[in-house]
Amino acid sequence: MFKGIDDLSKYVQGFEMSLTLEALGPSIMQAEYEFTKSIGVDILDKLLAEDKTASLVKSAIANYAMYRYLIFWAASKNNTNKSLYKYQYEAMKEEYISIHWCAMDSIFAWLDTSDLPEWKESESCRMRSSLLIKSATEFDQYFQINKSEYFFSKVQFLMRKVMEDEINPRLKSLASPSEKVLERAKRVLAYHTMAQAVMLFDVTELPKSIRNDVAHEFTKDSSLMQVREKIKSTIMADVEKYYSTLEAEVKNAVKGASVSVAANLNEEKNPFYATL
Containing 170, the helix (H) or strand (E) segment is helix 168-171
Q: Walk along the chain (276 residues) in steps of 10 and give the mean pLDDT of each run.
A: 90 78 93 92 90 94 94 77 78 92 95 91 88 96 95 95 96 91 97 96 89 75 84 96 96 73 51 46
Alpha-carbon gap, residue 39 to 27, rounded angstroms: 18
SS3 136: helix
- pLDDT for 51: 87
- pLDDT for 53: 95
**What pTM was computed for the model?**
0.85
Contact 17, 67 (CB under 8 A): no
DSSP state of 85: P
Alpha-carbon gap, residue 39 to 123, rounded angstroms: 10
Contact 65, 28 (CB under 8 A): yes
- pLDDT for 219: 64
- A 10 A CB-CB count for 133 gives 24
SS3 167: helix
